[in-house]
Structures are given as structure tokens and as C-alpha cells.
Amino acid sequence: MDALCPSPPGPSRPQRNYERIGEGTGTSFCQTLIHLLKGNIGTGLLGLPLAVKNAGLVLGPVSLLCMGVIAVHCMRVLVKCSRHLSGKLSRPSLTYGEAVQYGMENVSWLRRHSQWGKQTVNLFLIITQLGFCCVYFVFLSDNIKQVVEAANATTFSCQMNHTNQTQVLVPSFDSRLYMLCFLPAVILLVFTPNLKYLAPLSLVANLVMTASLVLIYFYSITNITYPIDLPKVGRAKDYPLFFGTAIFAFEGIGVVLPLENKMQRPQSFIHVLYLGMGIVTFLYISLGTIGYMCFGEHIGGSITLNLPNCWMYQAVKLLYCFGIFITFALQFYVPAEILIPPVVARVSPRWERAVDLLLRTILVIFTCALAVLIPELDLVISLVGSLSSSFLALIFPPLLQIVTFHSEGLSPLATLKNIVISLIGIVGFLTGTYIAIEQIIY
């Protein structure tokens, strides 16, 4: 939680209960909005043009809009349940796992298993965050490989040639070897004792990623060819891949409670949520649609892989890679904080630091090994989205609302709505995971 939104100076969280009615120094409306945007915009955005291709030029944007509405609704449900349970327990705030745990305690036959709820949420948080780290390894290797191979032919002319835009003139080694080259640098990055030391680099990374997105939009909009002859509806067997990529992009629910808990006026958080996710949904639909219209059937797993062979857009790839490299530490922080402290607590103080660094190294090597095994960016994104993000974003929040308000008369219509949303998530999980694994094996 502190990694995603650092605590403001002052007393610890239990002592700051009074600040939740606006008398303290928590994050402001604008600060919370920036954090929310930062937590939702990453590599998933760059993979959405391929997702729209899998769904179709018309069905894709419509499906993204529907998924955005459902995802935002689930975020609001999670905040509502957390507020209700924290008020009931006289606690200032709850984590996602704690909310599920205490919600299950409202149902008599689930009470004895409530700890499992927290552990299950933490498990999926670990899978999701380590999955993001795997995606980052593949993204870095694919883009840097492309820049290196095209270096001798890079020019100042950004002409479009209607194929995969970057021309490869000097073939280099396999992308998996690039991942191994990044491994030592990433290990040193996660050795950073406190994320506050990365704050200046993180600010620079946010600025260069924003500038890169502006240039990607500009190129895509100005190079759409007419007439547009692309399928309005994609193949049915490709739609589960669309679901996985889309839910991977929308899986920002993990940052919702930390941001709400740190806000100076948490009663205003719902307005932040609607505004921020409205902006995110617009970016997702617009870049997904425009990118597919620009590059058509040649669209890659990331739109950066289709940018032309000129210095400006090669710089865009390098700048975005720098931003993703720094973001790796933020994404890695969550599973590290769940997995490492219980192990370190079992060793003598003399060995604590060494064991901490060893476990961090093992986790990074594990994510790199998974990326080496599956070096296909689009399939890794779809698999991570279908396998874990669907649970956190679509399945758990509606079920949490059912158990939280179980004894307080939740309306049959609300119960039906929650069941339908959870079923959508379960179907997406089963079909998306199956198709992604099938494609990976193929």
C-alpha cells in the first residue's frame, strides 16, 4: 500500500483516524487522481490495438466500454464494502484481503474459513504482480531488440510502409538472451531499500511515458489509411484473447483501497474514481481503435513494435522502456512485501539483510525464467489477465458485496447483478486461460 501511495508525514495510520474527515495532511483530490491514472496506465494500454483486432473494429471498442463500466462498478463496490466493514470494526481502513476476510465472517458457515479469503486474495495479488513483471521482461526485450536490429538503418524520415513498420536490417540474437542481459540490472533495481529513493526517477519515467504516448497517438492518427477495410467483428475463438488483454489493462483495482485509505477527504474518492477511470477508459478505447485502424492486420503485441524506423520513434521505444524498467520496482514491491517478511522473521537479525536480498534475487530470476519460457508479449498479457486479473477485478468484488451485506437484506436485484458479473469473470477466466495456454503451446 505504501509503495503505491506513500504515507503523508505524521502519525501512523491508526492514529490518523481523525484525518479521514478532512483535518489532516493526506493526499489531495488531484494527487489521488494522478496516482489512480498512474496505477492503471502501463503496458496493457499498448497491447489494446491487438485486443481490438481480436474482437473486431466495432465489437472491440463496444466491449472495452462495457468492460470499463463493469470494472469501475466493481471498484466502487469494493470501496463501499471496505467502508462498511471498517466502520463496523471501528478501524480506519482495510486492505483488499482484510475486506474479504471480514466480509466472510458475516456468513456463519464461512466464518471459520475467513482467513482463507485473505490468503486467496493475496495469492492472486502475487500472481498478478509477478505476471506484470514477466510482461515487463518481454516488453523490454522485444523493444530493445528491435531498436538494436534497426540501428544501422534508422533515419530522420518517418514514412509509413504499411507492414510491420520497423525494418530489421541487422539480425541480432534471440529476444530471450536480451531478457538475460536485463536480469542483473533488474536485480540491482529491486535491491533498492526504500522506494522513496526511486521517486525522482519515477517522476522522470512518468513524464517520458506521457510524452511517448502523445507521439504514438500523433503518428497513429495521422497515418490512418482510407478506406478502412477491417472486420467489424473478429473470430469467436480470438475473443477470449481480447478478454484477457482488456482485463489485464483494466486491472487497477489493487490500487483503489490504498488510494482511498490515504486520501485527506476519502468521501470524495468516488468522484476521483469516476473521473480517473473515465479518462482511462477513453484512452483505452481511443488508442485501441486508432492503433488498429492505423496498422490493421500487422498490429503487434505492443503498438510500439509497429512504429517506423526513424530516430524520433526509436527514441519513443527507448523512453517507454526506461519508464517500464523503473515501474518494475513498484510492481515487484507488492509480492515482495507479502512473501519476504514472514521468511525474514524466522532468521536471526544477523542474516536478515542477506536473506532479504537472496529472496528478492530468487523472485526476479523466477519472473525472468517465466518470461524466457513464454517470450510472446500478447499471449503473456492475455494469460496474466485471464488467469489472475479476472478474479481481482470481476469475480471477488461482487461476491464480497453479497457476503458483506448478507445479514442486512441485500436486494434480490443486487444479488442477481453480482452473480451475473461474477459469472462473466469466471467464463472469461476459463475461456481466456484455455485459449492463451493453447496458443502458447502451439
* Residue 80 domain flag: yes
More confident residue, 175 or 61: 61
What pLDDT, on the 0 to 100 scale, is given for residue 198?
A: 77
In a domain, 23, yes or no: no
CATH number at residue 365: 1.20.1740.10
* Domain-embedded: residue 180: yes
**Is residue 62 domain-resident?**
yes
Residue 22 lies in a domain: no
Q: What is the pLDDT of residue 156?
A: 67
pLDDT average, residue stretch 190-205: 80
Residue 404 lies in a domain: yes
Asked if the structure places residue 1 within a domain, the reply is no
- Residue range(s) defining the domain that contains residue 70: 29-441
| Least confidently predicted of 161-170, 265-274, 320-329 | 161-170
The pLDDT assigned to 168 comes to 52
Mean pLDDT of the 290-315 span:
90
| Count of structural domains, the chain | 1
Full 3-state SS string of the chain: CCCCCCCCCCCCCHHHHHHHHCCCCCECHHHHHHHHHHHHCCHHHHCHHHHHHHHCCCHHHHHHHHHHHHHHHHHHHHHHHHHHHHHHHCCCCCCHHHHHHHHHCCCHHHHHHHHHHHHHHHHHHHHHHHHHHHHHHHHHHHHHHHHHHCHHHCECCCCCCCCCCCCCCCCCCCHHHHHHHHHHHHHHHHCCCCHHHHHHHHHHHHHHHHHHHHHHHHHHHHCCCCCCCCCCCCCHHHHHHHHHHHHHHHCCHHHHHHHHHHECCHHHHHHHHHHHHHHHHHHHHHHHHHHHHHHHHHCCCCHHHHCCCEHHHHHHHHHHHHHHHHHHHHHHHHHHHHHHHHHHCCCCHHHHHHHHHHHHHHHHHHHHHHHHHCCCHHHHHHHHHHHHHHHHHHHHHHHHHHHHCHHHCCCHHHHHHHHHHHHHHHHHHHHHHHHHHHHHHC
pLDDT tens digits, 98-147:
999 999 998 888 888 899 999 999 999 999 989 999 999 999 999 999 88
pLDDT for 417: 95
Task: Flag whether 6 is in a domain.
Answer: no
- The pLDDT, as a whole number, for residue 200 is 83
Residue 48: what pLDDT? 94
> With 50 as the cut, is the pLDDT of residue 303 above it?
yes
Q: Please determine, for residue 4, whether its predicted confidence score (pLDDT) is greater than 70.
A: no
pTM equals 0.84
